[in-house]
Chain A
Amino acid sequence: MSDSTATGPVLAADGTPLKKSLAQALRREKTRALLLIAPLLIFVLISFIFPIGKMLFRSVENDIVADTIPLTVVELAKWDASSGELPNEDVYAAMAADMVVAIAAKAHTRLGSRLNYEQTGLSSLFRKSGRAIKKWDLATDAPFKEKFLEIHDGWGTVEVWQTIQTHSGRKTSGYFLNAIDMQLSPDGPAAQPESKQILITLFKRTMIMSMIITISCILLAYPVAWILANLPARKANLLMILVLLPFWTSLLVRTSAWKVMLQQQGVINDILVWLGLVADADRLVMINNQTGTIIAMTHILLPFMILPMYSVMQTIPITYLRAAKSLGATNWTAFWRVYFPQSVPGIGAGSILVFILSIGYYITPEIVGGTKGVFISNRIAYHISSSLNWGLAAALGAILLALVLILYWAYDKIVGIDNVKLG
């Protein structure tokens, strides 16, 4: 190591390799930097990355069937579901054994709820059967097939057993199929009955409305950002405060304010009627529908469009426009050919921000959206807090996340993510 040849590694003054020496010199700095960000890093890991991962995992996880009725699952695997005949006594005996254990642990109702997502009625089947099976003695009461059929007709239908068999795996694609209006039937993936098809519509609506909101934001924000970027600093600051003002007001207050503004007996309708533009009898319906959601969300998300646009436009010197005009371009040509292309990174950054925020938006559509103006996020919230179908909620969330990532990727391919400037 001590004698350096011409081809050997570059050495520092004391003979240690330069790379090692450099790493030692930088180690202290790196450690310090890491320590400084450690609290946030740990916080993000524990409270964000980990729960999200866990939540997303729920979209495919299906341990409940195999854990609650393990013997039945094994026996049921031998049964040919397509034969059209009921399973044999072995399956019923296994089910009886499993149920006695499950009832003692009060796990059978949860299994019922889980299977009820797939076939309506199974929840009550399990609940009712539980009360009867509790009194059975496994050693003496065999055979169980007739006893099951006595409790409930459900145990005598092939479909019930098919459902249990189909969903007995520890991993399931069922939630994801449900999320796109399909279901996992014994014969593989199939379309949901028409009455239950809603999620694709909601996804489409979320996408289309988010796009409309993003476009309205671009149209409204562009001139404002332009003025902001070209005013003298003092006036620009005042205007900037006005732009930021909404951030200082509660989201709920702002959304409720729109409710007051937009309702049929609201401020806007009153003014239109007073001006005679709208007849009193047919006041405009602007709330509890898509119009309401679009208006309120455009307003709420506008600052997220203005700020990146402003920061990009600030860096475009006015001389470019002057140069274009001195070269013979009209005001419009100068703007369109010279200024606008340079402001595209700001539009891109603002659009990504607004679009992503808006496809996950929940409160505003919930308050002003009515039934026609709700987003997929409202459905996710419903499954999380009301129907308690967390698996489906997780699947919907995962799809939403995937959509965002795909869009992000597409944007990178088309415009280039380097072109996004947030400040």
Chain B
Amino acid sequence: MADSGNTGAFVEFERVQKSYDGEILVVKDLNLSMPKGEFLTMLGPSGSGKTTCLMMLAGFETATHGEIRLDGVSINNIPPHKRGIGMVFQNYALFPHMTIAENLSFPLEVRKIDKSDREAKVMRALDMVEMGAFGGRRPSQLSGGQQQRVALARALVFEPELVLMDEPLGALDKQLREKMQFEITHLAHELGITVVYVTHDQTEALTMSDRVAVFEDGRIQQLAPPDKLYEEPENSFVAQFIGENNTLEGVVNEISGERAVVQLDSGDLIDCKPINVSKVGERTQVSIRPERVEFNVDRLQEGTHRLKAEVLEFIYMGDIFRTRLRVAGRDDFVVKTRNAPDQVRLQPGQEIEIGWLPEDCRALDA
């Protein structure tokens, strides 16, 4: 698929570091490689270094150390305008003094494409985002969602192979955001472009991406497809950052292959799958997803440990029920159940027993 030499990767970060002040590393030893056509999301809290990485790739920031390659060629010393990378900015950055058509025509003009070709391409790009009728308007005359589409069209009109998007949907309301998420992914797959997408919205990352890179503290904490990221977080940061998560703390009591028994600080024992722990006596944070907790005792596996729980709160959320429990001395333990006809509605004050499949419960770093 890739026509480059060494590794076959289209975009590559190799041992990239970045510091703004010479004292603090904002990006620490970043290694990343993307094949052509991939939709990769950089996800992380603000200040985690994800936007800096994107800016280095676009050429607006220089890497303090390391090499960034595009299609096998080092682009460290190539200025932004020669990289041929399309970019969608957070607030669209549509030029306010130009019409929509002029905005789209701009990248073609600087590439010295002749007028008739230019007009055809602009029209095609606008039609692609269903904005064909708006060519004569100014950006300020469009709604947020329309500006977003135009920004997308402008980033695509000169047919770049790589498109960067910096929180492009941040300013839109929820419904529009969800609609645009689908449109962007469909467009990206249709055109076969490679996309690096930055966001701090995990739902966006999970629904749109082929792979998600979770950033924290200037490092990629985990790089995996969305399902893997959610179901098999590799460390406690990822577990807590992606989706809702129940955390229990304790010490490894027994460990054998795929099974471990952890003694919680309350003294209770639970079964789990060791991920980042290897020996008895190690401290660990145990992570269990709210929807994987079972309180129907009949369905629990024979011989596994169970925990006593007290129902604190029952919240009706429409499609799901959210029940807050006091478990092992913590009162932020949440269970989510589907709203089905036969579903039990727990009452506050009720004493129940809960448990889970050992493989759903992951013993991570402390």
Residues of A at the B interface (CB closer than 8 Å) are: 317, 319-320, 322-331, 333-334, 337-338, 341-342
Contacts and interface: CB of A to CB of B under 8 A. Distances in A.
A325 B80 CA distance: 6
Given A327-B158, A329-B110, A319 B93 contact: yes
B85 interface: yes
Nearest to A334: B81
B106 A326 contact: no
Interface of B, helix, strand, loop or mixed by DSSP: loop
Given A317-B91, A319-B89, A322-B60, A327 B96 contact: no
B158 A323 contact: no
Nearest to A344: B97
A325 B86 CA distance: 10
A326 B80 CA distance: 6
A333 B79 CA distance: 14
Contacts of B87: 322-323, 326-327
A328 B110 contact: yes
Contacts of B79: 325
B154 interface: yes
Q: Give 10 closest A-B pairs by Cβ, nearest first.
A: A327-B107, A323-B93, A326-B87, A319-B93, A325-B80, A341-B97, A325-B81, A328-B110, A329-B110, A328-B81
B110 A342 contact: no
B97 A319 contact: no
Nearest to B86: A326
Contacts of B83: 326
A327 B110 CA distance: 8
A329 B93 contact: no
Contact of B58 (A320, A324, A326, A329): A326
B110 A333 contact: yes
Given A327-B87, A328-B111, 10 more contacts: A317-B91, A320-B93, A322-B60, A322-B80, A322-B93, A324-B95, A326-B155, A330-B110, A338-B95, A341-B97
Contacts of A319: 89-91, 93
Nearest to B163: A326
Contact of B107 (A317, A322, A328, A341): A328
A235 to B, nearest CB: 15
Contacts of B132: none
A327 B91 contact: no
Given A319-B89, A322-B80, A328 B95 contact: no
A322 B97 contact: no
Given A325-B81, A327-B107, A330-B81, A320 B60 contact: no
A328 B104 CA distance: 12
B80 A320 contact: no
A329 B81 contact: yes
A330 B80 CA distance: 9
A270 B97 CA distance: 49
Interface string B47-65: 0000000000011100000
20 contacts: A319-B89, A320-B93, A320-B95, A322-B89, A323-B89, A325-B60, A325-B81, A326-B58, A326-B86, A326-B87, A327-B110, A328-B110, A329-B81, A329-B107, A331-B81, A334-B81, A337-B106, A338-B95, A341-B97, A342-B97
A323 B85 CA distance: 11
A319 B84 CA distance: 17
Nearest to B58: A326
A327 B158 CA distance: 8
Interface of B: 58-60, 79-87, 89-91, 93, 95-97, 106-107, 110-111, 154-155, 158, 164
A326 B81 contact: yes
Contacts of B89: 319, 322-323
A341 B103 CA distance: 14
Contacts of B90: 319
B97 A327 contact: no
A338 B86 CA distance: 17
A317 B92 CA distance: 11
A349 B99 CA distance: 24
Nearest to A329: B110
Nearest to A327: B107
A199 to B, nearest CB: 42
A327 B94 CA distance: 11
Contacts of B158: 327-328
Contacts of A342: 95-97
Contacts of A333: 110
B91 A329 contact: no
A329 B59 CA distance: 13
A230 to B, nearest CB: 14
B320 to A, nearest CB: 40
A320 B91 CA distance: 10
Contacts of B107: 327-329
A348 to B, nearest CB: 14
B199 to A, nearest CB: 17
Nearest to A323: B93
B324 to A, nearest CB: 43
Nearest to B84: A328
Contacts of A322: 58, 60, 80, 87, 89, 93
A331 B96 CA distance: 19
A326 B82 CA distance: 8
A66 to B, nearest CB: 59
A342 B138 CA distance: 14
Given A341-B97, A342-B97, A326 B91 contact: no
A363 to B, nearest CB: 39
Nearest to B94: A323
A120 to B, nearest CB: 59
